[in-house]
């Protein structure tokens, strides 16, 4: 924190404590009101008598102020002042994480030595994997792992890079970067319409046969190198299967046309530096279990 803001926090906090203390003592009435004197506050016909706070209530306020001052002396709370104990939330977090790691290390090492297919059947592993997934993956793939527009559904059997344990773990460790080029400049409006019709026909949809026939030539020229001659995709390149009716960016005529025109560039982040080896192994088992 910059020195200016540190001083700003110290001054405002100190002023607040002083004002609260002054208000408490300045408005303290020591003697019991026997003359029926009121504070002047009237609400719904009810008048408030000017009586002192009960002693225990007043002392509770005093102790609260004393506790607050003591807390700000012992712990950080006044700008850059570290407190007498030198406590920090980062250090506390690191201690708790280290304790948890030591506590669960043996269990994780045991799971790490077992095949993904085997531990994926263990309810305890799926429970742990579910927590890891919720903290790291659900923001994109959804809490139910069924994906969203541009984010794959992990509960079906359609995989861009393969659904084997090895492929899933590689995806988690290294991440993925998709690169679907845009073809608008090459195909033009008519070519895009023809290619769109052909792509739709691959999944059995009824389309204009003339457009689809012309689109087939475009597909074999520009698309088959990645998606395959039959349009069923290629795990090595992350090229999706276009013949199963499952669409990452939507399968309407407009959505397919937009994909062909502008291309797509999906990014799956790498977790090698975020999650430990054993956590990635457990997360792999969880993701694998979603579709098995």
Binding-site sequence positions for heme c: 137, 140-141, 180, 223, 226-227, 268
C-alpha torsion sign, points 90, 270, 131, 280: negative
Binding site, by residue number, is 137, 140-141, 180, 223, 226-227, 268
Query: What is the distance between the alpha carbons of residues 231 and 203, in angstroms, rounded to a whole number?
Result: 9
Half-sphere exposure of 210 (CA within 13 A, CB side): 1
Query: What is the distance between the alpha carbons of residues 235 and 179, in angstroms, rounded to a whole number?
Result: 13
Burial (0-12, 13-18, 19+ Cβ within 10 Å), 248: buried
Give CA separation, 205 vs 157, 224, 243, 285, in Å. Answer: 21, 19, 10, 36
Give the 3-state secondary structure of residue 53. coil
Phi, psi for 59 (deg, rounded to 5): -65, -30
Pick from 259, 115, 98, 247: nearest CA to 181: 259
Query: What is the distance between the alpha carbons of residues 82 and 113, in angstroms, rounded to a whole number?
Result: 44
Burial (0-12, 13-18, 19+ Cβ within 10 Å), 119: buried
């Amino acid at each position: 924190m910059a020195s200016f803001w540190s001083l700003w926090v110290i001054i405002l906090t100190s002023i607040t404590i002083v004002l609260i203390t002054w208000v408490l003592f300045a408005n303290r009435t020591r003697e019991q009101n026997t003359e029926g004197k009121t504070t002047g506050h009237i609400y719904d016909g009810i008048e408030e008598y000017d009586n002192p706070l009960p002693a225990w209530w007043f002392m509770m306020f005093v102790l609260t102020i004393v506790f607050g001052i003591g807390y700000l002396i012992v712990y950080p709370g006044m700008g850059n002042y570290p407190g007498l104990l030198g406590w920090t939330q980062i250090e506390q977090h690191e201690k708790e994480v280290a304790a948890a790691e030591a506590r669960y290390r043996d269990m994780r090492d045991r799971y790490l030595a077992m095949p993904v297919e085997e531990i994926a059947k263990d309810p305890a592993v799926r429970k742990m994997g579910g927590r890891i997934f919720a903290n790291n993956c659900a923001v994109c793939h959804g809490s139910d792992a069924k994906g969203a527009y541009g984010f794959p559904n992990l509960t079906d059997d359609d995989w861009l890079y393969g659904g084997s344990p090895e492929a899933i773990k590689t995806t988690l460790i290294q991440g993925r970067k998709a690169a679907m080029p845009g073809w608008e400049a090459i195909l033009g409006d008519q070519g895009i319409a023809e290619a769109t019709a052909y792509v739709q026909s691959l999944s059995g949809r009824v389309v204009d046969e003339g457009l689809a026939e012309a689109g087939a030539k475009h597909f074999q020229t520009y698309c088959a190198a990645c998606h395959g001659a039959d349009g069923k995709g290629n795990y090595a390149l992350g090229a999706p299967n276009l013949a199963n009716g499952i669409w990452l960016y939507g399968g309407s005529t407009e959505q397919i046309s937009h994909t062909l025109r502008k291309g797509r560039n999906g990014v799956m982040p790498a977790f090698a530096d975020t999650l430990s080896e054993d956590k990635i192994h457990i997360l792999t088992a969880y993701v694998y279990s979603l579709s098995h």
